[in-house]
Structure 1
Amino acid sequence: MRLVQLRVTDANRQAILDALDALDAEYVVVDEATDLNTTIVQIPVPDGASDGLLAHLDDAGLGDDAYTVVTDATSPREVNQQLADRFVEGPKGDAGVSHPEIRERALDLQPNRPTYVALAALSAVVATAGLLLDSAIIIVGAMVIAPFAGSSLSASVGAVIDDRRMLVQSVNSQLLGLIVGFVSALAVTAGLRQTSFVPSGVAIGRIEQIGLFLTPNLLALTIAVCAGAAGALALATDLPVSIAGVAIAAAIVPSVATAAIGVVWGDALVTFGAVVLLAMNIVFINLTAYLALVGLGYRSSLVRDSWTNFQPSVRTGVYAVLVLVFAVVLAATVGATAQYIVFEHQVKEDVEAVVDGPTYDSLELMSVQAEYNDMNALGRVESVTVTVARSSDDDYPLLAEAIERSISARSGREVTVNVRFLEYQTEERQSETNADELRPRPSVVAGGIGDRVVPRHVLDVA
């Protein structure tokens, strides 16, 4: 609840009180002990209704320069709840905060421009170090300091509350952060490679942490969707957004660093896959956050107002181009992601079918990793890496060939299959029964008048 306190003059006092009476609002009038001929009017209002009420009173003659104070307040009973239906934009009651509040919360997540640029650069540098060191802990540290939560969620908030300026600023902030992060990661990676802190011959595609951010897949899509939904839910329900911010950063920062590493190493497929993964994450974070806010009860008039107020102009043309670019990126990202997910799923099914065959009973499938399927846009054959564990000395020289034939026959595409073997030994503790059977025991030999025991030990392994 908010308490709105106004100073009104004798000239407009009656008009203000009549406007409040027309709303059937409860209020208190206090005469000031001054020579200004003014009165203090106190009106308790529901959360989110203060801006609408002030706009209504301005129309009644309050004036933009009137002394106005809005403070937090508590009350043992509901007061002026009828004002919520008229002035509160957004979900009513406990379903979510009002439009002004969610806008303020989204803006509070964004640091000032110099701080934002510095944190974007630092998070990208830390993520690059974590990827090259193959350290998940360092990558998590990069996610914690990344500033992308506010810039990502502000676009959805701006769209849903019809704040075009906020929407444009959010898009600009996201682009700026991505460019700064990419350039920073590029510079650090190039420096590390040139100074031989990281050997130039390292197969970056074989590094486990980099391999996690090479390709758009169903699990990565799930992370982006959940991050966007969690961020929107936290904003709309006045909950901490910090945890959702880490999830948003997890979908952005490592992909930016992976793309930079791919550029420095000259691996077009790594760069292409990381960029598509990054685009997928950004698109679905923003889209999911918007849909989550709509699902929580926020209704945007952005499309309707834009169509109603449509007038040919340079600004309208720029907006149309931006919408078209976003639609193209969305369609390309969804299409590329869908075709890769289908390809990856087929590859895993084919590998499992081969390894589960009777010829390879002693093998255990550990993982299957397929490089990003670029539909031969770069003229490269897709590579599939299969990791299996074995406890015997069998070499299985035809395993890679069998998997390659199975994948090529089903997908109709040429692939290169790499099989990595992990060897292990197994030692099982024997039961007490088996241990007794293996203990040495005396042999009984018959001789002479009676049997005598000969101290001869025989190991019975029957």
Structure 2
Amino acid sequence: MRFVQVLVPAGTRDAVVEVITDENIEYAITDETGTDEYEAIITFPLPTAAVEPVLDQLRTVGIDTDATTVVLEAETVVSDKFNELDEAYSNDSDDTTDGDRIARDELLARANELAPGIGPFILMTIVSAIVATAGLLLDSPAVVVGSMVIAPLIGPAMSTSVGTVVDDTSLVARGVKLQILGGVLAIVSAAGFAFMLRTVQIVPLSAVEVFEIGEVSQRLAPDVLSLVIALGAGAAGAVSLASGVSTALVGVMIAAALVPPTAVVGIGLAWGTPRVVAGSAILVLVNFIAINLVALIALWQLGYRPQSWFRTSEARSTTLTRIAVLTVALIILSSALAGFTYSSAQTAAFEEQTNAAINAELPPEAIMLDLTVTYSGFPARTPQQVIVTVGYPSTTEPPAIADAIDARIESIAPVTPYIGAKIPFIDQNRSHPRAMSPADAESPTRESSNTHSTRAITVELRYIPVERT
């Protein structure tokens, strides 16, 4: 429900009252004595869905944008006539509009409020990126969530979409500028902060150790599910904005799709890992595009159009063009996410099979303490080295399982195709005590007569004596 106050320009009082009366709206009107430009102030309650059509009718009789119009949220209206009006507008809403959506002017006002001034936006973006980086390196989900709460990212995305559907080019330009600025600032801030932590040895970890941190490792392999989060965030942002409800929690969801990946890009830059930078940067771009695309589609489907009918055609053309461009960009970048998803599934399957194969070869008195697999390649990842740590009773000799594990892992390792050359099989590098056979001494690498494939994977088996209780 809304409570509307309108300054009535001189000479339009009768026409304004006629419009209000024809709509069966209860109103109060008082004379305006402060200026000769206006002759009255008219106030009336309206259902939320009625604000936009009623204001459009008033503008046709002289209430233009120069006349002050105030729309306030009303807690309660006790009136049978108002209830009838509310029911009438609820029944009149069609499939393209929502009876609970706010008016165009109110939507514009909310979008402008959500896009903060440049100073606060820069400050809050830098702070949120630094806090997110600290949270990731501390492996603290609570700190990462806190960085999402303070991130001012919902405003620019929603402003761009709102400006497009209502043909407000200045709002579009402001939203796009803030989104680009926010993304660059977040990455630079995260990279600078992470580099400082590494340089002064506050985080004295190698790149491998950093990317084994739980909160960081979760975001190293962006996949299609990450896209689902961004799509949901964009839809939720548009609907919450159009319905007039609080956007605070939705802002956290949008930040969840953007802030942690930008922090991971910064960490990757600080530790000099191009693969991490590329993967997370693609995810950031995909999420930005997805949020804007879904918000744009949602607002257009909710029925928002420019105030002037002759601008509707131009707005439609602009909106459809931007939807097409964003869709193509999303499809292209999402193919990379699909590749990451497939690669993650392949590596998970390989590690699961490797784990099962090793356990199948272990004698009852031995136990696998650790399994580490390193990969090469981008975006497709090929296992390069497998390190198996086996614990055995300190009172016995290490179990002779090296050859069996070698054969097992070699049988499940991915095959890389080659044509027209002899490719050597890389021999296993063993750290356990084992006498070298004559064949090993003569040929540390074995050549294959098969010129079409090779399994280039190194297996290292480590033994650690353990005390059994």
Question: What TM-score results when the alignment is normalised by the length of structure 2?
Answer: 0.69
Choose 356-365 or 246-255, whichever is displaced more: 356-365
> 2:260 corresponds to which residue?
254
The yes-or-no answer on 1:228 pairing with 2:227 is no
Instruction: Answer whether contact 1:225 1:288 (CA < 8 A) is retained.
Output: yes
Residue type of the partner of 2:255? A
Map residues 56-455 of structure 1 onto 2, 5 A cutoff: 56-62=57-63, 65-66=66-67, 68-73=69-74, 74-76=76-78, 77=80, 78=83, 80-81=85-86, 82=88, 91-94=97-100, 96-199=101-204, 201-203=206-208, 204-291=210-297, 298-299=302-303, 308-309=313-314, 326=326, 329-357=329-357, 359-360=360-361, 374-375=378-379, 382=382, 397=402, 399=405, 402-403=408-409, 406-409=412-415
Q: Which moved more, 1:193-202 or 1:214-223?
A: 193-202
CA distance in 1, matches of 2:255, 2:339: 25
Stretch of structure 1 that moved more, 9-18 or 167-176: 9-18
Report the equivalent of 2:24: 25
| Alpha-carbon shift at residue 371 of structure 1 (Å) | 6.6
Letter in 2 for 1:113: I
Shift of 1:15: 2.8
Give the Cα separation in 1 of the matches to 2:257 and 2:277.
Answer: 16
Deviation at 1:184, TM superposition (A): 1.4
Q: Distance in 2 between matches of 1:195 and 1:301?
A: 55
Whether the 8 Å contact between 1:213 and 1:277 is mirrored in structure 2 is: no
Q: Report deviation, 1:202.
A: 4.5
Tell me the secondary structure at the aligned position of residue 190 of structure 1: helix
Task: Name the structure 2 match of 1:46.
Answer: 47
Q: CA-to-partner distance for each residue in 1:260-314, whole Å, 9 max, x for gaps?
A: 22223222111111111222222233334445556xx514569x9999549xxxx
Equivalence for 1:438:
none
TM-score normalised by the chain length of structure 1: 0.70
What is the distance in 1 between the residues matched to 2:247 and 2:467? 47
When Rg is computed on C-alpha atoms for both structures, the one with the higher figure is: 1
- Hey, what's the Cα distance between the residues in 2 that align with 1:126 and 1:160? 35
In the other structure, the counterpart of 2:422 is none
For the structure 1 residues 427 and 282, does the alpha-carbon distance in structure 2 shift closer, same or farther, using more than 3 Å as the test?
farther
Counterpart of 2:190, as a letter, is A
Structure 1: how far apart are the matches of 2:233 and 2:117? 23
Residues of 2 paired with 1:194 and 1:116: CA distance? 28
Residue deviations 1:388-425, cap 9 Å, x none? 99886669656577446524139999786889999999
Alpha-carbon distance change, 226 to 19 in structure 1, aligned in 2, over 3 angstroms: closer
Given that 1:181 and 1:256 are in contact with CA atoms closer than 8 Å, whether structure 2 keeps it comes out as yes
CA contact (8 A) 1:385 1:420 kept: no
CA distance in 2, matches of 1:104, 1:384: 56
Residue identity opposite 1:179 in structure 2:
V
How far did residue 62 of structure 1 move? 4.2
**CA 1:90–1:8: 2 relative to 1, 3 Å:** same
**1:157/1:290 contact within 8 Å kept:** yes
**Does the C-alpha gap of structure 1 residues 237 and 10 become closer, same or farther in structure 2, counting only changes over 3 Å?**
closer
Note if contact 1:232-1:289 (Cα within 8 Å) is conserved in structure 2.
Answer: yes
How many angstroms apart in 2 are the aligned matches of 1:426 and 1:48? Answer: 75
**Unpaired runs of 5+ in structure 2?**
394-398, 418-452
Aligned residues: 412
Distance (whole Å) between structure 1 residues aligned to residue 265 and residue 32 of structure 2: 69
Q: Aligned AA for 1:189? A: A
Structure-2 change in CA distance of 1:324 and 1:60 (3 Å): closer
Counterpart Cα distance in 2 of 1:32 and 1:300: 34
- C-alpha contact 1:124 1:257 (8 A) present in aligned 2: yes
CA displacement at 1:256 relative to structure 2: 1.4
The 1-side partners of 2:348 and 2:62 are apart by 71
Deviation at 1:372, TM superposition (A): 9.1
The one-letter amino acid of 2:60's match is D
Residues of 2 paired with 1:420 and 1:101: CA distance?
Answer: 67
Is 1:15 matched up with 2:15? yes
> Residue type of the partner of 2:341?
I
Q: Evaluate the alpha carbon distance shift between residue 89 and residue 99 of structure 1 in structure 2; reply closer, same or farther with a 3 A threshold.
A: farther
What per-residue deviation string (whole Å, max 9, x for no partner) do you get for residues 51-99 of structure 1? 54334223223455546554444423325445678899973334x4444
Is residue 9–residue 67 contact of structure 2 (8 Å, CA) maintained in 1? no
1:230 deviates by 3.5
* 1:93-152 Cα distance to aligned partner (Å, 9 max, x none): 34x444444443344333321111011111111222233333333323322222212223
Counterpart for residue 429 of structure 2: none
Question: Per-residue deviation at 1:42?
Answer: 3.6
After TM superposition, give the deviation of residue 29 of structure 1 in Å. 5.7
- Aligned partners of 2:89 and 2:99 also within 8 Å: no
Partners of 2:462 and 2:157 lie apart in 1 by 42
Distance 1:360-1:292 versus aligned 2 partners, 3 A rule: farther
Superposed CA deviations along residues 17-76 of structure 1, whole A, max 9, x for unmatched, are: 34445x443344646496979454444322254354334223223455546554444423
CA distance in 1, matches of 2:232, 2:465: 38
Aligned-residue offset at 1:212: 1.8
Give the counterpart letter for 1:231 in structure 2: G
CA contact (8 A) 1:343 1:373 kept: no
> Which blocks of at least 5 consecutive residues in structure 1 are unaligned?
311-315, 429-462
Q: Which amino acid aligns with 2:24?
A: A
